[in-house]
């Protein structure tokens, strides 16, 4: 039986720390994703707070503006501190404070609020499901539509070795540039040890639901990912590659999560409470690359 030992844990933690430092200090000149994650319907326990820090860096992406006044995604650092609170066994509330570093400037992208409804105890089920609604009020450098709503259904299957999750996301932009875009996310992962997964994640922006973009203008990204625990922290690492000429070509991502003790609980970080919930694809409406606007 394969064992995720202490030595491997130390190497994984060192690798995660190295990528985090790299993402924090590489020169940033454009916008990228503020969150890259596939939601798996697992939420915080009732009364429990969790926090995640998302960091994503576009090593190679289009260098032109996605719209007048927006900034190009090439060499962009995007990040999002995310706070969540378990309200009931089937409801979690979340708050985001997204930002980007572009042209040596720190840019705020307003704030986001989400309501996540799930089947209770999703981590213990072979078939699980849920739906998330995200309400986004951004700033002009990030998109032509400042108020947006994301509807993210969650459908997944798992056994002792594999998990397969689909997030068929629809983004609704409001105002003059309002439209509904189909931006699905998919995850296939293999469990190799306790709290240790490797897998692949796919993110896309096909454009309007009623009028899809030509293939080469679509954003399609394939990520190699790994998820593991390093002490009380949950780590999600990934490296993404563009599949079309209109995609960002190379993106790195890291998510570091921590679950505060649940009321009446003994552990400082529950095994299931901070498993990656969402890897949202890029959004054109928020002014990332042609599809982008994301490690929620």
Taking only the tens place, the pLDDT of each residue in 128-173 is 999 999 999 988 888 878 899 999 999 999 999 999 999 999 999 9
* 8 Å CB contact between 236 and 227: yes
- 6-286 carries CATH number 3.90.480.20: no
pLDDT at 33: 53
pLDDT band at 284 (very low <50, low <70, confident <90, very high): very low
More confident residue, 18 or 183: 183
> What pLDDT digit, counting tens, does each position of 47-64 carry?
999 999 999 999 988 877
More confident residue, 136 or 9: 136
- Determine the Cα–Cα distance for residues 65 and 117; give it in Å rounded to an integer: 36
Q: Does the pLDDT value for residue 277 go beyond 60?
A: no
Residue of 247, 187, 203 lying closest to 58 (CA atoms)? 247
Q: Does the pLDDT value for residue 281 go beyond 70?
A: no
pLDDT band at 96 (very low <50, low <70, confident <90, very high): very high
* 8 Å CB contact between 226 and 4: no
- Report the percent of the chain where pLDDT is more than 90: 59
DSSP string covering 190-218, please? EEEETTEEEEEEEEEE-BBSSSBPPGGGS
pLDDT at 31: 33
Q: What would the mean pLDDT of 113-119 be, rounded to a whole number?
A: 98
pLDDT at 27: 34
With b meaning 16 or more CB within 10 Å and e meaning fewer, what string describes 92-115? bebebebbbbbeeeebebbebebe
Q: What would the mean pLDDT of 104-126 be, rounded to a whole number?
A: 93
pLDDT at 266: 53
Q: What is the mean pLDDT of the chain?
A: 82
CA angle 150, 277, 206 (to 5 degrees): 45
- Determine the Cα–Cα distance for residues 174 and 171; give it in Å rounded to an integer: 10
- Under DSSP, the state recorded for 30 is B
List % helix, strand, coil for the chain (3-state, nearest 5).
Answer: 10, 45, 40
- Determine the Cα–Cα distance for residues 157 and 119; give it in Å rounded to an integer: 13
Q: What would the mean pLDDT of 227-247 be, rounded to a whole number?
A: 95
pLDDT at 264: 78
Q: Is the pTM of this model over 0.85?
A: no
- Report the percent of the chain where pLDDT is more than 70: 78
Query: Collapsing DSSP states into helix, strand and coil, what is residue 68?
Result: coil
More confident residue, 176 or 98: 98
- Determine the Cα–Cα distance for residues 293 and 276; give it in Å rounded to an integer: 19
Structure tokens at 252: 């790195």
Q: What would the mean pLDDT of 202-228 be, rounded to a whole number?
A: 94
pLDDT at 272: 47
What contacts 284, CB < 8 A, 6 or more positions away? Answer: 66, 181, 205, 207, 219, 290, 291, 292, 293
pLDDT at 265: 66
Q: Does the pLDDT value for residue 13 go beyond 60?
A: no
> What pLDDT digit, counting tens, does each position of 29-51 carry?
333 356 799 999 999 999 999 99
CA angle 152, 229, 47 (to 5 degrees): 60
Distances (CA, A) of 205 to 40, 180, 185: 20, 11, 9
Q: What would the mean pLDDT of 112-137 be, rounded to a whole number?
A: 96
Q: Does the pLDDT value for residue 73 go beyond 60?
A: yes
- Determine the Cα–Cα distance for residues 78 and 259; give it in Å rounded to an integer: 23
């Amino acid at each position: 039986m394969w064992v995720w030992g202490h030595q491997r844990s130390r190497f994984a933690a060192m690798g995660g720390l190295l990528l985090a430092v790299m993402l924090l200090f590489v020169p940033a000149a454009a916008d990228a994703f503020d969150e890259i994650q596939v939601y798996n319907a697992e939420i915080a326990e009732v009364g429990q707070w969790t926090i995640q820090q998302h960091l994503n860096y576009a090593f190679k992406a289009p260098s032109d503006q996605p719209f007048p006044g927006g900034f190009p995604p090439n060499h962009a650092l995007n990040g999002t501190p995310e706070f969540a609170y378990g309200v009931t066994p089937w409801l979690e509330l979340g708050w985001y404070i997204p930002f980007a570093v572009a042209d040596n400037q720190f840019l705020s992208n307003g704030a986001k609020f989400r309501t996540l409804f799930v089947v209770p105890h999703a981590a213990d089920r072979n078939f699980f499901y849920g739906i998330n609604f995200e309400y986004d009020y951004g700033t002009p450098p990030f998109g032509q539509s400042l108020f947006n709503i994301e509807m993210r259904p969650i459908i997944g299957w798992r056994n002792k070795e594999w998990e397969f999750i689909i997030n068929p996301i629809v983004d609704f932009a409001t105002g003059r540039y309002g439209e509904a875009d189909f931006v699905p996310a998919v995850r296939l992962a293999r469990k190799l040890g306790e709290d240790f997964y490797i897998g692949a994640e796919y993110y896309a922006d096909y454009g309007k639901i009623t009028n899809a973009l030509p293939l080469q203008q679509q954003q399609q990204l394939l990520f190699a990912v790994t998820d593991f625990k390093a002490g009380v922290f949950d780590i999600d690492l990934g490296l993404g590659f563009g599949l079309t000429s209109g995609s960002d070509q190379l993106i790195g991502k890291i998510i570091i999560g921590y679950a505060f003790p649940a009321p009446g609980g003994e552990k400082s970080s529950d095994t299931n409470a901070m498993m990656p919930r969402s890897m949202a694809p890029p959004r054109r409406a928020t002014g990332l690359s042609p599809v982008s606007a994301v490690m929620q």
